[in-house]
């Protein structure tokens, strides 16, 4: 049970760090790496599908 809690916390922390890092970038920097500000949450949550870009 403790390992499960630690694993969930670790995944949450990683998602949060990814979100914050991407959110700090300017729109120009995001465009340079091929994403827009609206993609940040799905990228951080690992649900982003590049093939569906523009459909969400």
Residue range 4-49, pLDDT digits in tens: 999 999 999 999 999 999 999 999 999 999 999 999 999 999 887 7
Say what the pLDDT of residue 51 is.
64
Verdict on whether the full-model pTM lies above 0.95: no
In 3D, which of 55, 35, 43 has the Cα closest to residue 19? 43
Residue among 21, 26, 29 at smallest CA distance from 43? 21
How confident is the model at residue 53, as a pLDDT? 58
How far are the Cα atoms of 5, 7, 31, 50, 55 from residue 40, in angstroms, in the given order? 25, 22, 12, 12, 15
């Amino acid at each position: 049970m403790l390992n499960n809690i630690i694993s969930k916390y670790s995944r949450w922390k990683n998602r949060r760090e990814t979100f914050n890092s991407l959110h700090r970038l300017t729109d120009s920097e995001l465009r340079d790496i091929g994403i827009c500000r609206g993609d940040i949450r799905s990228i951080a949550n690992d649900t982003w599908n590049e093939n569906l870009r523009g459909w969400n």
